[in-house]
Amino acid sequence: MNGAESLVRTLVAEDVTVCFTNPGTSEMHFVAALDRIPGMRCVLGLFEGVVTGAADGYYRVAGKPASTLLHLGPGLGNGLANLHNAKRAHSGIVNIVGEHATYHIKYNAPLTSDIEGIAGPMSNWVRRTSSSQTVADDAAAAITVARTAPGNIATLILPADTAWGPAEKIGKAKPAPIRTVVSQDAIRAAAQALLKGGASASLLLGGAGLRGRALELAGRIAAKTGCQLNAEFAYPLLERGAGRVQVTRVPYVIEAATKLFEKTTHMVLVGTGEPVAFFAYPDKPSVMQPPSCAVTTLAKVDEDIEGALTALAEELGALTVSPLKIAQASRPALPSGALTPEGIGAVLGALLPENAIVVDESVTSGRGFASPTAGAPPHDWLNIVGGAIGWGLPAAVGAAIAAPNRKVIALEGDGSAMYTLQSLWTMARNQLDVTMLIFANRSYQILRGELAGVGAGTPGKNANEMLTIGNPDLDWVSLAKGHGVEGGRATTLEELATQLKRGLASSGPYLIEASL
């Protein structure tokens, strides 16, 4: 057994069974080990942003880490933006980065770089393995970190000679540690805040608070106290649709977010922090709740959120109360006419299949989708958490690998989709069940609003050059075809419905260009 084999055996033994890869020469022994050892599914990305974004989407849906395989510092650099998103989403990833052989580093060959330096800002843990004999234990340590709640980026640097040198061991990770139980004081303080605030209190949920029993408990608490139920703006996964407790997401636009909280006197945080502005703007606030609002933390993102909500419901006598704000099953009628954001939302709401996974990087185009899809059959909604665009298509890859029997629907701005369009090829090769809607407004539309928002005026010639992505228009059907993905174009709502039905009927990837 060599170091690479001991690494792969350790991963597989610890149920890390998917490897999103873009390898190079220094990773060839790892690649060879994947040949010899059964149990690992290898998914190639033609760009590293696909690899790390897929690992993020995979974790959110599978609830366990995948591994990656990246090629030295520059390969890691290419994956860094989606590693940032994953870190912000608290997704666990065993992020393996190949490196020159230990004795070769001093020669400063062209691809040499400070891998720890590059990895640090986007990792929760970084370790360089020192010999083929220690790879197994180092891998086990990385797995332990990656699956410690709420999920961490564990970067393991693997010099080539530690992969090809001899090894004997298969590593053993620690069982996922149990989440820290919150204190009685925190529970009592949260109960008092909700009782005092009544309808002027907000229970702001994030992380694991937006799923399963935690979400249901939040509904019971709202029924008992009358509090508002809110979701953090950037959440990893929200369970929603008919029969589930509805929450109101904090809006992106500052004026809308501050309006949502303008009468909030008490805010109780569960698995998230204070709502803050995505960006700073001259003369606008950075914090969304009023200065007079009392903020209480019930549970941090890494703590036992479901347990805390159970204890809070018990404290309030809400455990057996029927949950409030359950979404009723209802779909909008299929609309007709020009492609508008409202109309697109209605098409989505009319056709969204049960148990779908919606991967949402629709940016400006999707701001109104919550309402028309609220009564669709139960589904999961994933958002970009770290704000580094180019997340959606890779995350859809990972979600589809994690849940092969569910339909994945990716909602994508055209500007965002372009960052990691290589994802299309990985979908084609693996025949992933992903239907994509590309909102082709030929523009960094969000930046038009932002230019005004920061008080920088209206765009002139140079600014227009930088805010439009037309001239020439991207032809998304050709881009899809080039990657081996079937696609079609919709210029009306009727066409969109036809196209979406076609995508949903397919079991492989299908791309729809919605020409706005």
Residue list 376-435, contact with its own copies (CB under 8 A): 385-388, 390, 415, 418-419, 421-422, 425, 428-429
Residues 97, 76 contacting (CB under 8 angstroms): yes
d(CA 35, CA 5): 10
DSSP code of residue 68: E
H-type alpha helices, 270-329: 305-316
Tell which one of 176, 189, 287, 321 touches its own copies (CB under 8 A): 287
Check binding of 46 to its own copies (CB under 8 A). Answer: yes
What is the rounded distance in angstroms from the CA atom of residue 145 to the CA atom of residue 152? 6
Residue 107 beta carbon to its own copies: minimum distance, rounded to whole angstroms? 4
Integer-rounded Cα radius of gyration of the chain: 24
Contact (CB, 8 A) for 197 and 169? no
CA dist list (Å): 397 to 82, 204, 436: 13, 30, 11
Write down the least CB distance from residue 508 to its own copies, Å. Answer: 11
Residues in 155-174 that interact with its own copies by CB under 8 A: 160-161, 164
φ, ψ for residue 83 (rounded to 5)? -70, -40
CB of 114 to its own copies, least distance (A): 4
Q: Which is nearer to its own copies, 231 or 474 (CB)?
A: 474
C-alpha span between 348 and 369 (Å, rounded) = 8
DSSP 109-133: -TT---HHHHHGGG-SEEEE--STT
Cβ 243 to its own copies, closest distance in Å? Answer: 30
442 binds its own copies (CB under 8 A): no
Cα-Cα-Cα-Cα dihedral sign, residues 333, 337, 342, 344? positive
Beta carbon nearer to its own copies, 45 or 209: 45
The answer to the question of residue 42 lying near its own copies (CB under 8 A) is yes
Measured from the CB atom, the residue of 189 and 463 that comes closer to its own copies is 463
Per CB under 8 A, which of residues 466..505 are in contact with its own copies?
466-467, 469, 471-484
Q: Shortest approach of its own copies to residue 160 CB, angstroms?
A: 6
- For its own copies, give the closer residue by CB, 216 or 414: 414
Complete DSSP assignment for 143-205: HHHHTSTT--EEEEEEEHHHHHSB------PPPPPPPBPPPHHHHHHHHHHHHHHGGGEEEEE
Q: Check: CB of residue 295 under 8 Å from CB of residue 264.
A: no
Q: Does 437 bind its own copies (CB under 8 A)?
A: no
Nearer to its own copies, 177 or 470 (CB): 470
Q: How far is the CB of 290 from its own copies (least distance, A)?
A: 16
The footprint of its own copies on residues 122-161 (CB under 8 A) is 122, 160-161
Among the listed residues 85, 71, 92, 127, the one whose alpha carbon sits nearest the alpha carbon of residue 18:
92
The single residue among 31, 324, 370, 376 that binds its own copies, judged by CB under 8 A, is 31
* Interface positions, 59-118, toward its own copies (CB under 8 A): 73-75, 77-78, 80-81, 83-85, 88, 100-101, 103-104, 107-111, 113-114, 117-118
Give the count of residues interacting with its own copies (CB under 8 A): 104
Q: Among 1, 28, 326, 504, which residue interacts with its own copies (rule: CB under 8 A)?
A: 28
Q: Is 226 in the site for its own copies (CB under 8 A)?
A: no
Give the rounded distance of the alpha carbon of 100 from its chain centre. 31
